[in-house]
């Protein structure tokens, strides 16, 4: 496996092989019944996990999934782990079972008690299940859409439309002025937390254009050169975070108070203290699972 900077970000390292047309099972029911198959289960947006000693497991057998209220209509195939198929589905009415908990993916990523490859598969599962649940009907003719290829796409028998799971690109960038970087805080952040600026890309933009537009809108800072650093799948519900470093061409901040509660420059030493949680007044960066942490760390180091 290649180890680019992206491997440091939470939800990376998905080890499942996506199925080509030849390898797809005839139906999701066949896939579920195949030897060695396992299922990731979600109760709404939270993954079901089993506590095994100090570790967590998020894989369930067919029988276990059924005992946890698996909705067979929600099932999709994620891919293959060696010869064993991995699926995902919704547990619509999970009965209370000892040792089973429903946990959101952010908490799982921060805790680090789950195998990273399985956490990445859960991210794939959550985004894909969400997309299928939101795309029941054809946007062209209104007929019901059917699952294709175990979840690869959805198709309309009436008009032939086929649609594929979408990913929403978000640029997240650290603007740099010599020895200082630009961080902002939103009112909803945890107390003392500052992060890199971020925003959704818009149709017709390059990544660099989106970085320059977002930084200008949120902080008033003009950006010159933009350099890609790393990316992160962000399954809330289906973003792709595209992390960049950006060269500031101006220094005077006029931040957008509708987006940010504060925005200012931080020098390297202050950024290091925030990363290490040793800042004198408790300012800090996002957790290590977040791409913003590593954008800031790579600048600070
Ligand atoms: Zn249609």
CA of 146 from ligand 1 middle (Å) equals 10
- State percent of the chain over pLDDT 70: 98
Average pLDDT over residues 206-227: 98
* Residue 53 pLDDT: 85
30 Cα: distance to centroid of ligand 1 (angstroms): 27
d(CA 40, CA 21): 22
Ligand 1 centroid distance, CA of 239 (Å): 26
Q: What tens digit of pLDDT does each residue of 154-213 get? A: 999 999 999 999 999 999 999 999 999 999 999 999 999 999 999 999 999 999 999 999
Please state, in angstroms and as integers, the Cα–Cα distance from residue 246 to each residue in 23, 209, 277, 291, following that order: 43, 11, 25, 15
Rounded to 5°, the CA angle 53-56-61 comes to: 110
Ligand 1 centroid to residue 132 C-alpha, Å: 16
Average pLDDT rounded to a whole number, residues 25-46: 94
User: Do 171 and 197 form a contact (C-beta atoms < 8 A)?
Assistant: no
**Tell me, what's the pLDDT at 95?**
63
**Could you tell me what percent of the chain has a pLDDT over 90?**
91
Q: How far is the CA of 142 from the centre of ligand 1 (A)?
A: 6
pTM check: above 0.75? yes
pLDDT at 20: 83
The alpha carbon of 161 and the centre of ligand 1 are apart by a number of angstroms equal to 5
Check residue 1 and give its pLDDT. Answer: 60
pLDDT over 80 at 22, yes or no: no
- Res. 94: pLDDT tops 70: no
Count other Cβ atoms within 10 Å, centred on residue 95. Answer: 9
Distance between Cα 153 and ligand 1 center (Å): 14
| pLDDT (0 to 100) of residue 92 | 80
Compute the distance from residue 103 Cα to the ligand 1 centre, in Å. Answer: 36
Q: What is the mean pLDDT of residues 211-220?
A: 98
């Amino acid at each position: 496996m290649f180890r680019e900077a992206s491997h440091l970000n939470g939800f990376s390292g998905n080890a499942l092989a996506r199925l080509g047309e030849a390898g797809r099972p005839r139906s999701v029911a066949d896939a579920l019944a195949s030897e060695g198959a396992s299922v990731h289960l979600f109760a709404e947006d939270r993954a079901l996990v089993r506590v095994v000693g100090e570790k967590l497991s998020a894989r369930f057998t067919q029988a276990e999934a059924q005992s946890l209220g698996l909705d067979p209509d929600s099932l999709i195939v994620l891919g293959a782990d060696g010869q064993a198929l991995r699926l995902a589905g919704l547990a619509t009415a999970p009965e209370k079972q000892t040792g089973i908990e429903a946990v959101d993916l952010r908490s799982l990523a921060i805790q680090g008690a789950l195998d990273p490859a399985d956490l990445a598969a859960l991210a794939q599962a959550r985004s894909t299940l969400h997309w299928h649940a939101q795309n029941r009907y054809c946007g062209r003719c209104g007929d019901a859409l059917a699952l294709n290829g175990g979840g690869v796409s959805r198709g309309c028998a009436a008009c032939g439309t086929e649609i594929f799971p979408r990913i929403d690109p978000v640029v997240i960038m650290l603007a740099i002025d010599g020895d200082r970087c630009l961080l902002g805080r939103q009112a909803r952040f945890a107390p003392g937390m500052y992060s890199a600026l971020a925003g959704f890309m818009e149709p017709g933009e390059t990544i660099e254009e989106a970085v320059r537009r977002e930084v200008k809108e949120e902080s008033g800072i003009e950006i010159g050169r933009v350099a890609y650093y790393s990316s992160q799948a962000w399954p809330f519900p289906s973003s792709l975070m595209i992390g960049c470093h950006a060269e500031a061409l101006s220094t005077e901040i006029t931040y957008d108070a509708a987006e940010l509660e504060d925005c200012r420059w931080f020098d390297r030493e202050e950024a290091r203290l925030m990363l290490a949680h040793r800042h004198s007044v408790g300012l800090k960066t996002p957790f290590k699972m977040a791409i913003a942490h590593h954008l800031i760390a790579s600048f600070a180091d």
